[in-house]
Structure 1
Amino acid sequence: MHDTALQPPHLSRRNLLKIGLMGTAMLGTVSLTASLSGCSASTPASGYLILRSSDMPFLRALIPVMLDGAVPTGQMPQAVEGTIKSLDHSLAHLSPEMLKLTMQLFDVQSMAVTRGPLTGVWGSWENASANDVRNFLERWQNSSLSLLRMGHSSLLQLVMMAWYSRPEAWAHCGYPGPPTV
């Protein structure tokens, strides 16, 4: 009988550096490709300060999954749109370097050539089910690549900060709101 248990890969310092360099090269290539091909339009979508039209399908698929359980089903569309507006406002106040990195993260999600292999969502985000999005988040959260784990953490923090900065989110967690002065 053969032992079918999976053995974790041996990560030496050299292998870790190789993985980091490959990830950096990959994101740099994706960003350059997106910029040159016009997929990464720097013009914001109508009514937004930072977020582009190409970012919207991803965010509209991602946010309901992240807010599941915190928002009643009937209020989800308004919560998603409000969270996107809050996220846009927050992004407008990031440092230029942090904004650049965040937009590269969104570029990876919007380009079909990187979306499929990195997220497991091979079609468009508009056609992704909630289960597809959950699988993507779990894949990144538990990835052996630190770059993907950092991407998961960034997405989680961005969306949660955008949602919980909104007054309609406060009641769910028992926060009465800021004191009146």
Structure 2
Amino acid sequence: MTDTTLDDAGLSRRSLLKIGLLGTAFLATAGVAASLSGCSSDGPAGGMRVLRQSDLPFLRAVLPVMLAGAVAAERMPQAVESCLARLDYTLDHLSPEMLKLTRQLFDVLALPVTRGPLTGVWGSWEKASREDILAFLARWENSVLNLLKMGHASLQQLVMMAWYGSPESWQHCGYPGPPSI
């Protein structure tokens, strides 16, 4: 039988709980700091219903990396803008509580105090390289903190729903579109 105790990994239950509590406290503090700094109080960006100006640098940096392989390089700028519009539409139709959580996620990613320690991207998103963004996504996907794993899953689901809900993505995946009625 395989030994599944935490002793092999050098972690006790107590230290694992401490790590989880510290991570939760840090993220909660970051969310409060974002709220108090006014990061979450700005209104929608021009032409958007929900997405704020502070959300756009992150999304414009991450979307090309997440859509790589699904979009030809020469079509990427149009695909990013299309995906942003569909993401905005999707967010506009979320429940108020889910929208609040999504905004908190975007605030944590936009605020320099939390962006560096949590993502490994210490400068602005506009200056982040493809490798920096891939490392951030892998870091969150494989994190020991469930909150970061949930953030990655939420971000991935939102982006994939926005992109694959668009008729321009269907040809790439072989979907002929809905049947004509």
Q: TM-score, normalised by structure 2?
A: 0.90
Q: Does 1:65 pair with 2:68?
A: no
> Residues of 2 paired with 1:173 and 1:36: CA distance?
43
Superposition deviation, residue 38 in structure 1: 1.3
> Residues of 1 paired with 2:87 and 2:16: CA distance?
33
- Counterpart amino acid of residue 138 in structure 2: E
Structure 1 residues 179, 128: closer, same or farther in 2, change over 3 A? same
- Counterpart amino acid of residue 73 in structure 2: T
- Counterpart amino acid of residue 119 in structure 1: T
> Residues of 2 paired with 1:11 and 1:178: CA distance?
53
- Counterpart amino acid of residue 11 in structure 2: H
Q: Which residue of 1 aligns with 2:119?
A: 119
Structure 1 residues 101, 174: closer, same or farther in 2, change over 3 A? same
Q: Which residue of 2 aligns with 1:130?
A: 130
Structure 1 residues without counterparts, runs of 5 or longer: 1-6
- Counterpart amino acid of residue 9 in structure 2: P
Q: Is the 8 A contact 1:27 1:104 kept in 2?
A: no
Superposition deviation, residue 16 in structure 1: 4.9
Q: Which residue of 1 aligns with 2:4?
A: none
> Residues of 2 paired with 1:16 and 1:97: CA distance?
29
> Residues of 1 paired with 2:144 and 2:180: CA distance?
47
- Aligned residue runs from structure 1 range 63-142, under 5 A: 63-142=63-142
Structure 2 residues without counterparts, runs of 5 or longer: 1-7
Superposition deviation, residue 144 in structure 1: 1.2
- Aligned residue runs from structure 1 range 26-45, under 5 A: 26-45=26-45
Superposition deviation, residue 37 in structure 1: 1.4
Number of corresponding residues = 174
Structure 1 residues 9, 58: closer, same or farther in 2, change over 3 A? farther
Superposition deviation, residue 118 in structure 1: 0.4
Q: Is the 8 A contact 1:58 1:110 kept in 2?
A: yes
